[in-house]
Amino acid sequence: MRAVATATAPAFTRRLARSRVRRWAGSGLTYLGLAAALVFFLGPFFWIVTTSLKGNEDFFSFPPRWIPLEPSLAHYERLFTKASGLRYFGNSLLVSTLSMFAALVVSLPTAYSIARWRFGGGALSTVLLVLRMLPAIALIIPVYLMYRAFGLTNSYLGLILLYTVVYIPFAVWLLVGFLRDFPVEIEEAALIDGCTRLKALIRVVVPIIAPGLAVVALFAFIATWNEFLFAVVLTGIETKTMMVLVTSFTSGGTDMFYGEASASVVLGVLPAFAVAFALQRYLVKGLALGGTKG
């Protein structure tokens, strides 16, 4: 017995060592690949942030300085004062927040009707899905003409209305999923106690599915924040959003106003960062149905 053990031991350790080396090399390559991916996917953000913090000294230095020696907020200050950046940032915030709430308020009862009473059957769900796939370019031409006739161009109301409605199909679709997971018994109890449907929905269902509502709300917020085509056509000098503001920095070839442009990009991507972390678990579902596109 002993002899056998000693005879196989060296071979065994050799094999163990080889597999260990292989595993070690494998995980080394894995981390190397992921590190490369991080550099590629986050590098642009790093560069934009550092550029926005560079003063002239750092910006024009040769060889280029990747990290500013004397960080300054001068570009942000100029963006806010000269380019009305603060106003447009506020516009984006206002339009996104109000559209988000309006979309939720309108979509929730509809989703409830579909989830509890199968309202509209499969047909309604299909219609909602098709509306979700509808290219924005098909909608903007008639909407622009109608808004022009009603005096709704260059108005917050017009933009918020459009964003709210365009977002309904997506919000309903997500909310139906959350409502189907909700136990009917709790609602029944409230109904027996003499609540009306609407009261039961607001007082009993809403507090319990609040996390789901938050998910839908955040997706709605980021989608309207990111939306560009409707905004660029329908807004004017007072109602521009951040997405429209950056277009004013693109004139003048590829070497343009780096300072203010980079500062506005930093402000423009800020909500995306926040929401990406808040929504980690739901990203696939949301992105798949165009959750981040208006």
- Least distance in angstroms from the C-beta of 183 to other proteins: 13
Residue 126, both tokens: 């299909």
Q: Which amino acid is at 76?
A: Y
Binding flag, residue 287, other proteins (CB under 8 A): yes
- Pick one of 1, 4, 41, 121: the residue that binds other proteins (CB under 8 A): 41
- Pick one of 7, 16, 73, 145: the residue that binds other proteins (CB under 8 A): 145
Q: Position of tokens 């989830």?
A: 115
Binding flag, residue 162, other proteins (CB under 8 A): yes
Query: Please, which of residues 44-83 interact with other proteins by CB under 8 A?
Result: 44-45, 47-48, 51, 59, 63-64
**How far is the C-alpha of 270 from the C-alpha of 266, rounded, in Å?**
6
Binding flag, residue 93, other proteins (CB under 8 A): no
**How far is the C-alpha of 228 from the C-alpha of 273, rounded, in Å?**
18
Applying CB under 8 A, which part among 2-10, 12-20, 202-210, 265-273 lies near other proteins?
Answer: 265-273
**How far is the C-alpha of 56 from the C-alpha of 71, rounded, in Å?**
10
Residue nearer to other proteins on the CB measure, 4 or 185: 185
Applying CB under 8 A, which part among 9-17, 39-47, 82-90, 202-210 lies near other proteins?
Answer: 39-47
- Least distance in angstroms from the C-beta of 6 to other proteins: 28
Residue 12, both tokens: 């065994």
Q: Which residues contact 48 (CB under 8 A, 6 or more apart)?
A: 262, 265, 266, 269
Residue nearer to other proteins on the CB measure, 7 or 38: 38
**How far is the C-alpha of 199 from the C-alpha of 178, rounded, in Å?**
19
- Pick one of 123, 137, 211, 237: the residue that binds other proteins (CB under 8 A): 137
Query: Please, which of residues 9-38 interact with other proteins by CB under 8 A?
Result: 26-27, 30-31, 33-34, 37-38
Query: Please, which of residues 224-263 interact with other proteins by CB under 8 A?
Result: 225-229, 232-233, 243, 246-247, 249-250, 253-256, 258, 261-262
Here's the x/- map for other proteins, 102-131, by CB under 8 A: it reads as: ----xx-xx-xxx--x-xx---x-----xx
Binding flag, residue 288, other proteins (CB under 8 A): yes
3 state SS of 232:
helix
- Least distance in angstroms from the C-beta of 207 to other proteins: 19
- Least distance in angstroms from the C-beta of 185 to other proteins: 8
Binding flag, residue 277, other proteins (CB under 8 A): yes
- Residue 235: which of 292, 163, 170, 293 has the closest Cα? 163
- Least distance in angstroms from the C-beta of 277 to other proteins: 6
Rounded to an integer, what is the distance from CA 212 to the centroid of its chain?
16
Rounded to an integer, what is the distance from CA 15 to the centroid of its chain?
49
